[in-house]
Amino acid sequence: MIRFFAQPKYSLDHEKLGYDFFIRQYCNGNWIFPKNFAQFTALQLEKLAIATITALPKGTNMVSINLDQDQFVDDTFIASMQQVQKQCEPVEVVIELTEHHHNISIAKLAVAAQQYQNAHLWVCLDDVGTGDNTATLAEQLDPYITEYKFALQNFRQHTDFSTIISPLLQFWRKFAEIHHKFFAIEGFESAAEIAIGQHYHANLLQGYYLGYPELVQIDATALNNSGTHKIIDFHSHEDRRRNLQ
């Protein structure tokens, strides 16, 4: 059994804007981090996402779903994520491309990103500055990306944490400004760290200090419906995005 845990996202003004979804698997009485994400089909994630979004509080503006590179370029995942957006309007569905390397060419990632954009799905480059999500990739995908997300937790193993992240945050904040992207920072663990978000003018903030991921209780019968679909297109969602700025 799999479910999504939802972690809240906030604006600098402390307004709850939405949630980041993390998939967890039930095993021996515990919810665990899956060892293999490839075991989950696009249709499984589609039905789970729709059921989870439906169960969220009224007024939720946005939700994020993480996809690895191989999932991101898969036509079945593209079609399923488009279906999630169609079924869950007016919630903005954000597809976060993770930094994990799966030997997918930049050309294929760009084609897929364009397909998401054509369907008016918001594409986020997750954990920028780590793994494959470099400035080079950001440049190549620039026409199709809406958001950059910087993860503070990726640098906590360093004793000189503050010294390391300051130039990186400065770079990505400026990069987002130049390229007209939303800038998100995640990984806040204390009140003092919230000042980082304020200093770098983050549009979205996320972290344990602001809220832990929590299991979303859903109507499990919704997961039993079956179906297939083709890649489809939607009307513009620009008005909804302007409301998040």
**Amino acid identity, residue 119?**
A
Strands 16-27 and 204-206: unpaired
CA triple 76-21-187, angle to 5 deg: 130
Smallest CA-to-CA distance from 4 within 21, 26, 28 is with 21
In the chain, the percentage of residues whose pLDDT exceeds 70 is 91
Integer Cα distance of 186 and 209 in angstroms: 10
**pLDDT at position 21, please?**
98
* 137-163: average pLDDT: 93
Integer Cα distance of 172 and 167 in angstroms: 9
Considering the entire predicted model, what is its pTM? 0.90
CB atoms within 10 A of CB 11: 16
Fill in the DSSP letter of residue 17: E
Integer Cα distance of 151 and 223 in angstroms: 32
Q: How confident is the model at residue 165 (pLDDT cuts 50, 70, 90)?
A: very high
Phi/psi at 101 (nearest 5 deg)? -80, 125
Q: What is the pLDDT of residues 56-107, one digit of tens each?
A: 999 999 999 999 999 999 999 999 999 999 999 999 999 999 999 999 999 9
**Per-residue pLDDT for 25 more than 80?**
yes
**Per-residue pLDDT for 236 more than 50?**
no
| C-alpha torsion sign, points 202, 204, 210, 213 | negative
**Burial (CB count within 10 angstroms: exposed 0-12, middle 13-18, buried 19+), residue 209:** middle
The alpha carbons of the chain give a radius of gyration, in whole angstroms, of: 17
Q: How confident is the model at residue 38 (pLDDT cuts 50, 70, 90)?
A: confident
